[in-house]
């Protein structure tokens, strides 16, 4: 009988479905274990081979834990709000809800084929109103909260208002606003709200966006390539807009400290640490020469203050207009204009070109009272520190280059250091000179001294700065959660929690309105009636009873920042999850997903959970104890060149000196010789219908590049074909066999037949051409030994998420059993269970043919018998330098004397006591001896 994977897989998938095998209860006397995957965004391209990599790994672990006797929660859902569905809606006019639903059912079909042990009764979708109701609810909590820096936690805004009523801003730290209780009571509602906005965790502020004037819309960074829009290749500028933001920066210190409490990969923690970017330094105030104002600067090197010879401001700095003198006005405006066309990333990463412009104004050095010129340069970023830099050319490479370029004075404050050619950036082994009271001090003492002197003359103080910025929360998009806020006389008002969800309205057009409003501006019914407490027609807005509703929607990260809590109790409509459910499941025990989320989702969700914890809504501040990163499966992308000036597409082999933009095209349009099918390409998107090409010998070649597999890169490979020709079990094993899960790797199917052969070999241990050949007799000792070795190794390797080596071990075992013709049920039974997490369909079938009636999933995972694992000693000589040389590796129980005896004996061999019996092998005279004869 042959291995019929199709029949087997169908049979067991149906069995699991009919028996609710993977349904998990919140009530159990077993220990709980929560295994979570990062839920997918249901893109139109379907599930690609990269998605299952993590899901297979987590499924193996979940099934393993279940075999070990845990009550395992292993849910799945969809992060179903997002940009691509909206872009598709713009192109086709179809409602994103419709395409999202279609994509989800496609995903579900694909997921079902792979035999995952998900409990689908707990499925969630972020775009479902029963889900986003709670996202909106949490947003309003953020709106109605402030961060108390004294207590280091979030508190209800009401408590702050009470505090203002009684004490004004007294005792409130980390704020620049000051008023008394009496003053507070006299403020009108506008003024009060303005002040509260400085404290609310969700607040309105001006922030920069990518604005494309030609398309009349805000673009995501992903839609901008080399400063031009991906669609059409138009100019994009940075423009200020009123935006909702989340004050995540107030949690900087806790987010940093919290890293110590979680078992996440060190590299990922490092990334978050650096992203939060804590640095110690000083806030230094420089008085402006020509006005009463001053410029505050954050510097990590207050010790070098006497080396400061100018100040540099970001072009966006609010003081720029005021500081610019008449003579410099045109130059400054031109400069600001040109830098608004550069992306922030380009500005920071371009270290080679030096640009800047003098404002014409000066500040006064707090100690020397010398005048320092104020310059503007776009390497200074408005969102880091104060958007102004104290430039010390002798101690900073960038300032040095800037000063040389513009002929600004350079003062050397480092004793015995030559700075003729470059700045001296080290803090170590140097004394300060030329610096008045800091002379002869080292870095640390000078740092402290400078800070205390600044404090004395009220020109600054020691401070800590974080790079982490508040998170912009508004999107000028349709397909996202509506923000449950209406505006009464321009004051944002929360919609009462009772009336959530605020449902996403229908619109005729998913593009921004003619006057530049977000797509929700197209909604007819988008007024909030405060008497009826419901949405009414916009035409009824009268600013008395009916008010306009916020037009922006929430970003993708809103719904994904708390979803792990929802799985615990997904159908609850009284709360986001019941207290009992939250208490039982508590937190995620194993979270599996890509490291590309390191500074996005994985930081936002930690913040969100901390906030919920502060609000006493969850029981733990840490939502995922352990995180394992799955490396990305990379795709082989195809890119074509577009001439920026003419818009003509250029074949990759006929590029001259054109300035080009690279565009990803669908890999399905490319043949084996990397040639593009022009017809398919032109039909692909409306804007390419009229495309013109520069070709060579009538063919158009593309460039190939390895990139992450993603719909936006059009390089997606589906797993369906592999399920069709080899089956899900083969796919599962193969994806694991490809390499360690943490490692990124390009997709290829070269070795898949090896894994398929393995499953066939397993099958042949049970069946010959016609019959079941399993026998009850005792197995031979060698088969038993290797079985026990494998059991030991697999237990160890699963716990360490080393699934690729598990597969290898299984292969070795099966090869051995085949060689030994071992068909004893005493070996095949444990083999089936070992196989179960990896190839669950086949394992179930084998378990069944061995005469068992119940699913294999609740069988106890085998433990090895230590008596069968006594290591054999291996003997072999080593030689080098033309002479025979022996290494004697000693076990701990050999004495020196015994060693000498062995050495003196000329009949030497080397004993390799194989790792287990001796832990560490160290050199002479302790445990290793080299002997030359």
Partner RNA sequence: GCUCGGGUGGUGGAAUUGGUAGACACGUUGGACUUAAAAUCCAAUGAGCAGUAAUGUUCGUGCGGGUUCAAGUCCCGCCCCGAGUACCA
| Backbone torsion region of residue 528, taken as left when φ is above 0, otherwise alpha when ψ lies between -120 and 50, otherwise beta | beta
Residue that has been written with the tokens 């390539």 in this structure: 225
Q: Smallest Cα–Cα separation from 623: which of 640, 610, 636, 632?
A: 610
Residue 773 CB, nearest approach to RNA (Å): 15
- Range 204-223, binding RNA (CB under 7 A): 207, 209-210, 218-222
CB 258 within 8 A of CB 621: yes
Nearer to RNA, 183 or 819 (CB): 819
Q: Which of 854, 930, 932, 933 binds RNA (CB under 7 A)?
A: 930
| Residue 102 binds RNA (CB under 7 A) | no
Residue 708 CB, nearest approach to RNA (Å): 4
Grouping H, G, I as helix, E, B as strand and the rest as coil, residue 73 is strand
Residue 602 CB, nearest approach to RNA (Å): 10
> Residue 715: which residues within 8 A CB-CB, separation 6 or more?
635, 636, 637, 638, 664, 667, 707, 709
Enter the DSSP assignment of 922: -
- Range 104-143, binding RNA (CB under 7 A): none
Q: Which of 275, 693, 767, 886 binds RNA (CB under 7 A)?
A: 275
Nearer to RNA, 71 or 783 (CB): 783
Residue 453 CB, nearest approach to RNA (Å): 31
Residue 557 CB, nearest approach to RNA (Å): 7
Cβ-based neighbour number of residue 884 at 10 Å: 13
Nearer to RNA, 617 or 709 (CB): 709
Nearer to RNA, 457 or 922 (CB): 922
Burial classification of residue 636, based on how many CB atoms lie within 10 Å of its CB (0-12 exposed, 13-18 middle, 19 or more buried): middle
Nearer to RNA, 136 or 169 (CB): 136
Cβ-based neighbour number of residue 393 at 10 Å: 25
Residue 933 CB, nearest approach to RNA (Å): 13
Q: Which of 268, 380, 504, 628 binds RNA (CB under 7 A)?
A: 268
Q: Which of 52, 82, 258, 719 binds RNA (CB under 7 A)?
A: 82
* Range in contact with RNA (rule: CB under 7 A) among 254-262, 319-327, 466-474, 584-592: 466-474
| Backbone torsion region of residue 634, taken as left when φ is above 0, otherwise alpha when ψ lies between -120 and 50, otherwise beta | beta
| Residue 592 binds RNA (CB under 7 A) | no
Nearer to RNA, 110 or 210 (CB): 210
- Range 414-443, binding RNA (CB under 7 A): none
Burial classification of residue 870, based on how many CB atoms lie within 10 Å of its CB (0-12 exposed, 13-18 middle, 19 or more buried): exposed
Nearer to RNA, 136 or 229 (CB): 229
Q: Which of 25, 166, 274, 777 binds RNA (CB under 7 A)?
A: 274
Grouping H, G, I as helix, E, B as strand and the rest as coil, residue 529 is strand
Residue that has been written with the tokens 């609850």 in this structure: 572
Residue 30 CB, nearest approach to RNA (Å): 31
Q: Smallest Cα–Cα separation from 413: which of 365, 461, 455, 475?
A: 365
- Range 792-821, binding RNA (CB under 7 A): 802, 804-805, 807-808, 811-812, 815, 818-819
- Range 302-361, binding RNA (CB under 7 A): 344-345, 348-349, 351
Q: Which of 469, 488, 545, 826 binds RNA (CB under 7 A)?
A: 469
CB 609 within 8 A of CB 587: no
- Range 733-772, binding RNA (CB under 7 A): 737-740, 743-745, 748, 750-751, 753-755, 757, 760-761
Nearer to RNA, 300 or 805 (CB): 805
- Range 906-925, binding RNA (CB under 7 A): 912, 914-916, 919, 921-923
Give the span between the Cα atoms of 399 and 390, in whole angstroms. Answer: 9
Nearer to RNA, 92 or 321 (CB): 92
- Range 378-397, binding RNA (CB under 7 A): 384
Q: Which of 63, 66, 301, 601 binds RNA (CB under 7 A)?
A: 601
Burial classification of residue 645, based on how many CB atoms lie within 10 Å of its CB (0-12 exposed, 13-18 middle, 19 or more buried): exposed
> Residue 465: which residues within 8 A CB-CB, separation 6 or more?
277, 278, 279, 280, 281, 298, 300, 385
* Range in contact with RNA (rule: CB under 7 A) among 79-87, 418-426, 435-443, 659-667: 79-87
Residue 600 CB, nearest approach to RNA (Å): 4
Nearer to RNA, 613 or 801 (CB): 801
Name the helix (H) or strand (E) containing 608.
helix 601-614
Give the span between the Cα atoms of 563 and 542, in whole angstroms. Answer: 38
Q: Which of 49, 314, 451, 471 binds RNA (CB under 7 A)?
A: 471
Enter the DSSP assignment of 167: H
Nearer to RNA, 157 or 921 (CB): 921
Residue 500 CB, nearest approach to RNA (Å): 22
Number of alpha carbons in the 13 Å side-chain half-sphere of residue 82: 21
Q: Smallest Cα–Cα separation from 106: which of 577, 550, 98, 679?
A: 98
Report CA Rg, the chain: 33
Residue 223 CB, nearest approach to RNA (Å): 7
Q: Which of 887, 894, 911, 931 binds RNA (CB under 7 A)?
A: 887
Instruction: Give the torsion through C-alpha atoms of 432, 435, 440, 445, to 10 deg.
Output: -80
Nearer to RNA, 207 or 363 (CB): 207
Nearer to RNA, 348 or 868 (CB): 348
Residue 879 CB, nearest approach to RNA (Å): 5
Nearer to RNA, 356 or 555 (CB): 555
The dihedral of CA 844, 846, 849, 851: what is its sign? negative
Residue that has been written with the tokens 């179960």 in this structure: 836
Give the span between the Cα atoms of 282 and 292, in whole angstroms. Answer: 22
Cβ-based neighbour number of residue 445 at 10 Å: 14
Backbone phi and psi for residue 749, each to the nearest 5 degrees, phi listed first = -110, 20
| Residue 878 binds RNA (CB under 7 A) | yes
- Range 621-650, binding RNA (CB under 7 A): 632, 634
Residue that has been written with the tokens 């029949």 in this structure: 7
Nearer to RNA, 288 or 786 (CB): 786
Give the span between the Cα atoms of 832 and 839, in whole angstroms. Answer: 9
| Residue 822 binds RNA (CB under 7 A) | no
Residue 285 CB, nearest approach to RNA (Å): 24
* Range in contact with RNA (rule: CB under 7 A) among 107-115, 584-592, 681-689, 701-709: 701-709
Task: Please give the angle made by the CA atoms of 427, 432 and 438, to the nearest 5 degrees.
Answer: 115
- Please tell me whether the peptide bond between 501 and the residue prior to it is cis, using omega within 30 degrees of 0: yes
Give the span between the Cα atoms of 17 and 318, in whole angstroms. Answer: 62
| Residue 555 binds RNA (CB under 7 A) | yes
| Residue 162 binds RNA (CB under 7 A) | no
Give the span between the Cα atoms of 318 and 528, in whole angstroms. Answer: 35
Q: Which of 595, 661, 788, 855 binds RNA (CB under 7 A)?
A: 595
Nearer to RNA, 426 or 879 (CB): 879
Nearer to RNA, 240 or 405 (CB): 240
Kindly determine how many residues on this chain lie close enough to bind RNA according to the rule CB under 7 A. 103
* Range in contact with RNA (rule: CB under 7 A) among 80-88, 288-296, 521-529, 606-614: 80-88
| Residue 710 binds RNA (CB under 7 A) | yes
Residue 772 CB, nearest approach to RNA (Å): 19
Q: Which of 468, 612, 624, 834 binds RNA (CB under 7 A)?
A: 468
Nearer to RNA, 204 or 632 (CB): 632
Residue that has been written with the tokens 């009873």 in this structure: 545
In the structure encoding, which two tokens stand for residue 524, read together? Answer: 């007819």
Q: Smallest Cα–Cα separation from 766: which of 63, 8, 66, 6?
A: 8
């Amino acid at each position: 009988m042959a291995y019929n994977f199709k029949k087997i897989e169908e049979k067991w998938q149906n069995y699991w479905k009919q028996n609710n095998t993977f349904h998990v209860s919140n009530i159990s006397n077993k220990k709980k274990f929560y295994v979570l995957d990062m839920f997918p965004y249901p893109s139109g391209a379907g599930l690609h081979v990269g998605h299952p990599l993590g899901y297979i790994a987590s499924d193996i672990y979940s099934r393993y834990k279940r075999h070990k006797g845990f009550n395992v929660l292993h849910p799945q859902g969809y992060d179903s709000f997002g940009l691509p569905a909206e872009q598709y809606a713009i192109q086709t006019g179809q409602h994103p809800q419709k395409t999202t639903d279609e994509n989800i059912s496609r995903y579900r079909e694909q997921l079902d084929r792979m035999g995952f042990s998900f409990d689908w009764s707990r499925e969630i979708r972020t775009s479902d109103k029963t889900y986003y109701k709670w996202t909106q609810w949490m947003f309003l909590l953020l709106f109605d909260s402030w961060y108390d820096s004294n207590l280091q936690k979030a508190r209800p805004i009401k408590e702050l208002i009470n505090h203002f009523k009684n004490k004004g801003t007294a005792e409130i730290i980390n704020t620049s606003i000051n008023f008394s209780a009496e003053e507070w009571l006299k403020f009108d509602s506008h003024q009060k709200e303005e002040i509260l906005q400085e404290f609310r965790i969700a607040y309105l502020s001006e922030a920069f966006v990518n604005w494309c004037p030609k398309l009349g819309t805000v673009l995501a960074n992903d839609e901008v390539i080399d400063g031009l829009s991906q669609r059409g290749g138009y100019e994009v500028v940075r423009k200020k807009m009123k935006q909702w933001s989340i004050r995540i920066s107030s949690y900087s210190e806790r987010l940093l400290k919290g890293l110590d409490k979680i078992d996440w990969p060190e590299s990922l923690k490092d990334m978050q640490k650096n992203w939060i970017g804590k640095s110690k330094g000083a806030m230094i105030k420089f008085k402006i020469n020509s006005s009463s104002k001053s410029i505050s600067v954050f510097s990590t090197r207050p010790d070098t203050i006497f080396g400061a010879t100018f100040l540099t401001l970001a072009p966006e700095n609010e003081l720029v207009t005021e500081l610019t003198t008449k003579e410099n006005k045109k130059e400054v405006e031109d400069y600001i204009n040109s830098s608004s066309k550069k992306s922030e990333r380009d500005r920071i990463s371009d270290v080679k070109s030096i640009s800047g412009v003098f404002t014409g104004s000066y500040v006064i050095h707090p100690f020397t009272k010398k005048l320092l010129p104020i310059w503007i340069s776009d390497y200074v970023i408005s969102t880091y520190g104060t958007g102004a830099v104290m430039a010390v050319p002798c101690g900073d490479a960038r300032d040095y280059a800037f000063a040389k370029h513009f002929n600004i004075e350079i003062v050397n404050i480092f004793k015995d250091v030559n700075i003729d050619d470059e700045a001296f950036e080290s803090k170590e082994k140097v004394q300060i000179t030329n610096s008045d009271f800091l002379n002869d001090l080292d870095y640390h003492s000078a740092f402290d001294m400078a800070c205390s002197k600044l404090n004395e003359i009220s020109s600054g103080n020691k401070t800590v700065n974080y790079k982490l910025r508040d998170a912009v929360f508004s999107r000028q998009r349709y397909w996202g959660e509506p923000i449950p806020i209406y505006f009464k006389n321009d004051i944002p008002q929360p919609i009462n929690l009772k009336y959530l969800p605020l449902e996403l309205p229908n619109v005729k057009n998913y593009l921004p309105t003619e006057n530049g409003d977000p797509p929700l501006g197209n909604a007819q019914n988008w007024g909030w009636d405060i008497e009826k407490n419901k949405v009414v027609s916009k035409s009824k807005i009268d600013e008395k009873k009916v008010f306009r509703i916020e037009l922006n929607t929430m970003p993708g990260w809103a719904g994904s920042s708390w979803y792990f809590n929802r799985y615990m109790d997904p159908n609850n409509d009284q709360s986001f999850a019941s207290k009992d459910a939250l208490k039982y499941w508590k937190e995620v025990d194993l979270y599996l997903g890509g490291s590309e989320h390191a500074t996005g989702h994985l930081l936002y969700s930690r913040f969100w959970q901390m906030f919920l914890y502060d609000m006493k809504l969850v029981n733990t501040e840490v939502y995922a104890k352990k995180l394992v990163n799955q490396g990305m499966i990379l795709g082989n992308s195809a890119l074509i060149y577009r001439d920026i000036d003419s818009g003509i597409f250029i074949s990759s082999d006929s590029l001259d000196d054109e300035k080009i933009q690279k565009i990803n095209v669908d890999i399905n349009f490319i043949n084996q010789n990397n040639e593009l099918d022009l017809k398919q390409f032109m039909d692909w998107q409306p804007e390419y219908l009229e495309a013109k090409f520069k070709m060579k010998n009538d063919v158009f070649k593309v460039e190939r590049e390895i990139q992450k597999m993603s719909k936006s890169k059009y390089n997606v490979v589906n797993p369906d074909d592999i399920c069709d020709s080899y089956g899900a079990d083969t796919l599962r094993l193969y994806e694991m066999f490809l390499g360690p899960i943490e490692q990124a790797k390009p997709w290829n199917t070269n070795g898949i037949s090896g894994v398929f052969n393995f499953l066939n070999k397993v099958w042949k241990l049970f069946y010959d051409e016609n019959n079941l050949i399993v026998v009850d007799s005792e197995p031979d000792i060698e088969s038993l030994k290797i079985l026990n070795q494998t059991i030991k190794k697999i237990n160890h390797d699963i716990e360490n998420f080393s699934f690729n080596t598990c597969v290898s071990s299984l292969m070795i075992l099966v090869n051995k059993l085949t060689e030994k013709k071992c068909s004893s049920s005493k070996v095949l039974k444990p083999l089936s269970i070992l196989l179960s997490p990896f190839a669950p369909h086949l394992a179930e079938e084998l378990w069944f043919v061995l005469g068992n009636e119940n699913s294999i999933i609740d069988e106890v995972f085998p433990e090895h018998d230590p008596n069968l694992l006594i290591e054999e000693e291996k003997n072999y000589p080593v030689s080098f330098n033309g002479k025979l040389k022996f290494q004697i590796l000693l076990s701990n129980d050999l004495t020196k004397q015994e060693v000498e005896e062995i050495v003196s004996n000329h009949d030497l061999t080397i004993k390799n006591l194989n790792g287990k019996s001796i832990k560490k092998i160290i050199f002479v005279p302790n445990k290793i001896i080299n002997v030359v004869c």
